[in-house]
Structure 1
Amino acid sequence: MTAGSSPTAPRSAEGDGADAGKGPRLGLVTATTLVIGNVVGTGIFLLPANMARYGTVSILALGAVSIGALAIAMVFGRLGARVPASGGPYAYAREAFGEFAGFWNAWSFWITAWAGNAGIAVAWVGYVNVFVPWDNPFGKTVLALVGLWIPAVVNLSGVRNIGRFQLVTTVLKFVPLVFVGLVGLLFIDPGNFGPFIGAADVTGGSFVSAFSLAGAVLLFAYSGVESVAVVGERVEDPARNIGRASVYGTLAVTLVYLLGTVAVMGNVPHDELVNSEAPFALAVDNMFGGEVWGYLFAVMAIISGIGALNGWTMLVAEMPMAAARDGLFPTAFATTNRRGAPSVAIVIGTLLTSAVAALNYFYSEDAFETILLLATFTSVLPYFFSAAAQLYWLVTRGRDVVAAHLARDVTVAVVALLFSLWLVFGSGPEAVLQGMLIMLLGVPVYIWAKAGRGEYGPGEGRSGRPPVSGERS
């Protein structure tokens, strides 16, 4: 992009010369499994136990969070039709609010993706240790690297293999989870659910407090609903399928979360559930008896984690690639191999994730938790700006608006915007403070990118505008 090109016409949106727009693409089914696989990682296998701590009010919180997540998915669907470009939230913010807002979204999401992958990898190693008991820093680091670099190799091999890998791993975890949720409804004992509001030392003893705390835990259980929007150019018929895949995937995830949580809570006594490290296995033990279920669900968690890492590795690379093509990230991130994969972005992102995982095992778990805390806040900004972009275009009529759907679309955008604000609140003041610090660290990168494009501002740069009175020349 040259200094004089329009900031509202990113190359990533046009697709001219972009490798991402060529070759195999994700169909509706594989795009939907990308959403499901990225949202349902390893956390689902502990979710019912985490929710039980707050009481059955957490089921209401799950319903509320699901509505907010669905609103976000619908917004991404509408925006994907408006701007069917790779980068998703980056492209939407750039088109609506200018390139600095676009850069901040790309920077924010990139930090979220590679730091969040470290969290998935560490949880994944915990399940692998059931079968490979390398319970020392070196052994766990080796396992984490295996879990990170297998998806990296799959991603380097191209979109077709990414889609196949995602489809297989999603089916292998999704079908058994739905089965347990449905069958578990037949064995529910109402006496197992425990109190409506959990213990006062956990919940504060009030409905509002318990609901908010449970919601804060659940808020990030839907991280990944934006997955298809981020890889927009790699989707068949993106104007239609980004929205359909986002909504279908979110609905499928909601089904798994609701069925799984209710079934497990209803099959495991409350006091036993809150202390369980394998709630699904415990529920199946109570339904069918036997002790093999813990190993079975450990295998499912391993499959689920590696599938999530495959999908998120794709996102780690796609967002900076889109920004690099527009001159807002270092140009190396736009490099693709002969299969059209953003090879440099994949390798750099996986190296950063590997470093964080190793840091966790060899240096300090506190440092690792701090990085993940930052990621919780940085994951929210792309949601907020995307909802704001949709609301901006609806209110200003800056893009085509269907009058008959205006009230519905505005309502959905407002719900998504408020949901994003709740996400910020739920992440906590420490995460917000640290997240803003890491966002500000991106500003020098933006300056570097602007200087590399020969854009020096309104002074004696390429703009040619003479200084106004009172300005230094």
Structure 2
Amino acid sequence: MTETVHDQQPPRVMGFLDLALFYIVTGVSLRWIATAAAAGPGSLFVWFGAFALFYIPLALSVLELSSRHPDEGGLYAWTRRAFGDFPGFLAGWCYWTSNLPYFPAVFYFAASNALYVGGDRWIALEDSPSFFMWFAFAALALIAVLNIVGLKHARWLHNIGAYGMWVPVAIVVILGFSSWAVRGSATEFSFETMAPSFELKDMVFWAALAFAFSGSEAASFMSGEIRDPRRTIPRALVFAGAAIALCYIVGTISVLLALPPGEVNPLSGLLQAVSYTAEQLGFLWIVPVTALLITVGNIGAAGGFLAATSRLPFAAGMDHLLPRAFGELHPRWGTPHVAILTQAVLGGVFVFLGQAGTSVQGAYDVLVSMGIITAFIPFLFVFLALIKMQGEPAGPDTIRIPGGRPVAILVACVGLVVTSFAIILAMLPAADEPHPVLAMTKIIGLSALLIGAGWAIYAASKKRAKKA
């Protein structure tokens, strides 16, 4: 394998605050609070387990790998250095394509919350597939345009989106605990109710809660656009990690204080709790405000992931593993515009594919499962790369995992086991899916199609290079 020096790079525009807010907007996903609350108090232990056994190993791996090799492309570059061209391309391809089903899924969640902005007149659209589809198309167009114009401008959407993540959590915490003080808890919290269920049908959502803690790897794709990345990334990651865990755990408790698990909607449960408690306490004006914040927060998160993941085909294009156009910058704005446009267009295609032959909820579940499977495969490469690079000398600027080589290998092994388990669980359809065979066929079939397409594109690029 040959090393590639990238001569052209987008400008470095992100400082500590930008990066910390970026980690929050891409790390906090309010839809997972609703998912956890719908599963009941037992999800609290799953949150703690996901944080300890997935987030911490992933964050530690990212810290060491990004300080060893602060290259544009993040996990793609690390995997390529550790194992060669094809594993690097496959890791980057899977992560990049995981965002194709991610965008429709997060926009469906944003759309379900946007309905509360318009009150009862808009709520009637909650079962309308056409509303959700057109909302997703419009949001994709918005974030694509902002990211093409440049990260210098698009980062403001990410920063505003970060407030759209934690402010609604703060609102539901205040209202939830206020409701509890007035009328008691709507959910029983006891050792029996808080014990997680180990039945297979109840364990399916564990993968979703582990996936909720991903995002710490995203900013490393843009290392070339972060000011002093070796110093900025660790500080921002530690700060954001604490904020993310707090939002998930305290947010879930607050929703359950307001509503019993059986009444929580997995798509709009957070806003459901706000609406219910606001009505009880006489603060109905806060419902559309919270709905707007959640909507903007999720659009900001999608914009952040589009900015990060577009750097993967950009790096692959510069390494001649994709057509040359992917490795070119826009002549005016200096952004990887071909990669951004391609991802936005394909994201729109997945809106159609996910919706075909199913309900809004069914489409959402399929898209989530696909996103989890294809996003977790690259994490396997991250943990394997960490193990492989323990045999390399560490430079003076490298941030080593405390305990050195043996602890780093242990951390990587824990991450590998949890990630593999999550991939298996994500292949299973939701317990309430009316067409489980169709759902599983879609999940596995479309995931395999994405991976197979990556292999075919890599093979074609190598064939072109050989002819040249």
TM-score, with normalisation over the residues of structure 2?
A: 0.83
Conserved 8 A contact 2:219-2:308: no
**Separation in 1 of the partners of 2:274 and 2:316?**
43
Identity rate, percent: 22
Residue 160 of structure 2 corresponds to 168
For residues 192 and 146 of structure 1, do their structure 2 counterparts lie closer, same or farther at Cα, with a shift above 3 Å needed? same
1:241-286 deviation digits (Å, cap 9, x = unpaired): 2333333323211110011111221233455447974343146427
Residue 404 of structure 2 corresponds to 405
Gaps of 5+ in 1: 1-5, 456-461, 463-473
1:92 and 2:78 equivalent? yes
1:427-466 deviation digits (Å, cap 9, x = unpaired): 12644565344312321101111122227xxxxxx9xxxx
With CA pairs under 8 Å and 6+ residues apart, which has the higher RCO, 1 or 2? Answer: 2
Conserved 8 A contact 1:77-1:247: no
Residue 63 of structure 2 corresponds to 77
Write the mapping of 1:61-460 to structure 2, written as runs, cut at 5 A.
61-67=46-52, 68-130=54-116, 131=118, 133=122, 135=125, 139-181=131-173, 184-185=176-177, 188=180, 189=184, 192-193=187-188, 206-207=197-198, 212-273=203-264, 277=269, 278-282=271-275, 284-285=277-278, 288-337=281-330, 338-359=332-353, 370=366, 372-394=368-390, 396-397=391-392, 399-400=394-395, 405-428=404-427, 430=440, 431=443, 435-454=447-466
Q: How many residues align?
A: 436
Amino acid at match of 1:421: S
**DSSP 3-state at the match of 1:454:** helix
1:40 to 24, 28, 39: 28
Conserved 8 A contact 1:94-1:101: yes
Residue 431 of structure 2 corresponds to none
Once the two structures are TM-superposed, the CA of residue 398 in structure 1 deviates from its matched residue by: 5.4
**Separation in 2 of the partners of 1:296 and 1:268?**
20
Once the two structures are TM-superposed, the CA of residue 229 in structure 1 deviates from its matched residue by: 1.5
Once the two structures are TM-superposed, the CA of residue 349 in structure 1 deviates from its matched residue by: 0.8
**Separation in 2 of the partners of 1:161 and 1:124?**
22
Report which stretch shifted further, 31-40 or 406-415. Answer: 406-415
Once the two structures are TM-superposed, the CA of residue 379 in structure 1 deviates from its matched residue by: 0.4
**Separation in 1 of the partners of 2:283 and 2:236?**
38
1:158-187 deviation digits (Å, cap 9, x = unpaired): 121122221122124323423543674465
The alignment yields a C-alpha RMSD, in angstroms, of 3.2
Once the two structures are TM-superposed, the CA of residue 357 in structure 1 deviates from its matched residue by: 2.1
Once the two structures are TM-superposed, the CA of residue 65 in structure 1 deviates from its matched residue by: 0.5
Residue 435 of structure 2 corresponds to none
Report which stretch shifted further, 65-74 or 35-44. Answer: 35-44
Report which stretch shifted further, 272-281 or 225-234. Answer: 272-281
1:137-166 deviation digits (Å, cap 9, x = unpaired): 555443322211111111111121122221
**Separation in 1 of the partners of 2:257 and 2:202?**
19
Conserved 8 A contact 2:186-2:256: no
**Separation in 2 of the partners of 1:363 and 1:208?**
29
For residues 364 and 435 of structure 1, do their structure 2 counterparts lie closer, same or farther at Cα, with a shift above 3 Å needed? same
For residues 364 and 404 of structure 1, do their structure 2 counterparts lie closer, same or farther at Cα, with a shift above 3 Å needed? closer
Amino acid at match of 2:135: L
1:48-85 deviation digits (Å, cap 9, x = unpaired): 4x334433221011100012212212211111111111
Amino acid at match of 2:27: V
For residues 335 and 214 of structure 1, do their structure 2 counterparts lie closer, same or farther at Cα, with a shift above 3 Å needed? same
TM-score, with normalisation over the residues of structure 1?
A: 0.82
**Separation in 1 of the partners of 2:115 and 2:275?**
19
**Separation in 1 of the partners of 2:173 and 2:214?**
21
1:196-220 deviation digits (Å, cap 9, x = unpaired): 5679xxx9x9556587345233122
Report which stretch shifted further, 321-330 or 171-180. Answer: 171-180
For residues 283 and 265 of structure 1, do their structure 2 counterparts lie closer, same or farther at Cα, with a shift above 3 Å needed? farther
Query: Once superposed, which parts of structure 1, at least 4 consecutive aligned residues long, lie more than 6 Å away?
Result: none
For residues 208 and 272 of structure 1, do their structure 2 counterparts lie closer, same or farther at Cα, with a shift above 3 Å needed? closer
Report which stretch shifted further, 240-249 or 101-110. Answer: 240-249
**Separation in 1 of the partners of 2:259 and 2:358?**
35
Residue 3 of structure 1 corresponds to none
**DSSP 3-state at the match of 2:466:** coil
For residues 378 and 210 of structure 1, do their structure 2 counterparts lie closer, same or farther at Cα, with a shift above 3 Å needed? closer
Gaps of 5+ in 2: 429-439
**Separation in 1 of the partners of 2:258 and 2:288?**
19
Once the two structures are TM-superposed, the CA of residue 86 in structure 1 deviates from its matched residue by: 1.7
